[in-house]
């Protein structure tokens, strides 16, 4: 009935897998849990116990293939028609998490369901505040609100999809760098007029990086965004950052925003790495960096 698919890279996912396994064992459904380790260098011994669980398999790759290819590979190995994708660094909000998705399969006609993301209420240490604040304000969104713009608020960290749909869309293997592969996948769903049903069935995002790591990953993702947009792989109609950038570019204002980013980069970063990071500054930083890359065709 359901294949739970978890790509792993340098994260201890045993707690997640054990929790999902326990929930599935209480339900009278056919299931499997498939995990693929994408050539991790950490937590290899810890994750090894995953394969000892009933109906659970752990595959280990010798070379890293990236976020898109590994998800496609998981589907190739899956034997059931319903695919539950979970990121390695999440954890179910409650013990009815799997049952809620099973109920959707049995009682609704939709073929794609998004459960949502949430974050712990307790603040992390000061050096991780940027990622936590961003998650609380921009990613922790109710199903009712997500349903108003169903293609804008979809997280690849927690969604259920029928294999017949996935096999017609899948993740674009042309995206080899980090960032925005989920956005492109959802854009393809929208283009093909495939409905996404949003439900309140959240997972906690536990893998909160330091502000510096998050900032560097954001820059990496923005560089990839410029690449896939320039090569017309992604239109980005649901992406405010890309829409604003395109408007600036069409009005020949990228040089102004990009130049401002270069001048105020250290000031922005001082705020973003502080104990009171501003999401407004973060938005300016991302837009400025995108314009700067467009101006100079390079990263800093």
Instruction: Note the pLDDT tens digit of each residue in 200-252.
Output: 999 999 999 999 999 999 999 999 999 998 888 888 777 899 999 999 999 99
Question: Is pLDDT above 80 for 176?
Answer: no
Paired with 86 in beta bridges are 158
Residue with tokens 């925003």: 257
pLDDT score recorded for residue 298: 53
Are 35 and 8 in contact by the 8 Å Cβ rule? The answer is: yes
Q: Are 100 and 230 found together in one domain?
A: no
Are 143 and 116 in contact by the 8 Å Cβ rule? The answer is: yes
Q: Are 177 and 219 found together in one domain?
A: no
* Domain end call among 207, 223, 250: 207
- Residue 63: Cβ-neighbour burial (10 angstroms; 0-12, 13-18, 19+): exposed
With pLDDT > 70 as the criterion, what percentage of the chain qualifies? 99
* Average pLDDT of the residues in 126-153: 95
CATH number at residue 35: 3.90.550.10
* Average pLDDT of the residues in 150-179: 89
What is the total count of domains within the chain?
A: 2
With pLDDT > 90 as the criterion, what percentage of the chain qualifies? 85
Q: Are 262 and 179 found together in one domain?
A: no
Range(s) of the domain holding residue 226? 212-296
Q: Are 218 and 116 found together in one domain?
A: no
Are 198 and 147 in contact by the 8 Å Cβ rule? The answer is: yes
Q: Are 81 and 186 found together in one domain?
A: yes
Q: Are 170 and 243 found together in one domain?
A: no
Of residues 83 and 170, the one with the higher pLDDT is: 83
Task: Give me the sign of the Cα torsion angle 279, 280, 282, 286.
Answer: positive
* Domain end call among 174, 207, 240: 207
* Average pLDDT of the residues in 11-19: 97
Mean pLDDT of all residues belonging to the chain: 94
Structure tokens at 80: 């059931």
pLDDT score recorded for residue 79: 97
Predicted confidence band of residue 170 (pLDDT cuts 50, 70, 90): confident
* Average pLDDT of the residues in 90-95: 97
Question: Is pLDDT above 50 for 299?
Answer: no
Q: Are 218 and 202 found together in one domain?
A: no
Phi-psi label, residue 116: left if phi above 0, alpha if psi -120 to 50, beta otherwise: left
* Average pLDDT of the residues in 132-141: 97
CB atoms within 10 A of CB 230: 12
| Helix runs in 94-239, H state only | 97-107, 129-134, 143-148, 163-169, 181-191, 211-230
Of residues 266 and 296, the one with the higher pLDDT is: 266
Q: Which helix (H) or strand (E) holds 58?
A: strand 56-60
Structure tokens at 15: 């707690």
Q: Are 189 and 270 found together in one domain?
A: no
Q: Are 119 and 33 found together in one domain?
A: yes
* Domain end call among 184, 207, 230: 207
* Average pLDDT of the residues in 53-71: 94
Go through the chain and tell me how many residues it has.
Answer: 300
CB atoms within 10 A of CB 189: 22
Q: Are 11 and 79 found together in one domain?
A: yes
pLDDT score recorded for residue 300: 40
CB atoms within 10 A of CB 72: 15
* Average pLDDT of the residues in 12-29: 97
Question: Is pLDDT above 60 for 159?
Answer: yes
pLDDT score recorded for residue 118: 97
Q: Are 54 and 113 found together in one domain?
A: yes
* Average pLDDT of the residues in 10-15: 97
* Average pLDDT of the residues in 176-201: 91
Q: Are 247 and 157 found together in one domain?
A: no
């Amino acid at each position: 009935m359901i294949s739970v698919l978890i790509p792993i890279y340098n994260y201890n996912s045993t707690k997640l897998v054990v929790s999902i396994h326990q929930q599935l064992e209480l339900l009278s459904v056919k299931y499997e849990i498939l995990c693929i380790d994408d050539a991790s260098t950490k937590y290899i011994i810890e994750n090894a116990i995953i394969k000892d669980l009933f109906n659970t398999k752990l595959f280990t790759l010798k070379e890293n293939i990236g976020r898109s290819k590994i998800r496609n590979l998981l589907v190739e190995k899956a034997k059931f028609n319903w695919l539950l994708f979970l990121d390695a660094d999440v954890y179910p909000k409650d013990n009815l998490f799997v049952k809620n998705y099973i109920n959707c399969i049995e009682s609704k006609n939709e073929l794609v369901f998004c459960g949502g993301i949430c974050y712990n209420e307790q603040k992390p240490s000061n050096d991780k505040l940027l990622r936590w604040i961003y998650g609380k304000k921009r990613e922790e969104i109710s199903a009712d609100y997500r349903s108003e713009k169903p293609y804008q608020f979809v997280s690849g960290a927690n969604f259920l999809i029928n294999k017949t749909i996935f096999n017609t869309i899948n993740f674009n293997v042309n995206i080899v760098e980090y960032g925005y592969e989920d956005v492109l996948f959802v854009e393809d769903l929208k283009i093909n007029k495939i409905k996404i049903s949003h439900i309140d069935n959240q997972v906690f995002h536990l893998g909160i990086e330091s502000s510096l790591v998050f900032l560097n990953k954001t820059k990496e993702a923005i560089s990839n965004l410029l690449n896939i947009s320039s090569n017309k792989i992604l239109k980005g109609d649901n992406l405010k950052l890309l829409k604003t950038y395109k408007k600036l570019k069409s009005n020949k204002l990228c040089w102004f925003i990009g130049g401002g980013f270069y001048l105020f980069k250290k000031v922005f970063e001082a705020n973003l790495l502080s104990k009171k990071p501003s999401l407004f500054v973060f938005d300016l930083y991302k837009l400025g960096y995108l314009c700067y890359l467009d101006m100079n065709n390079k990263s800093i």
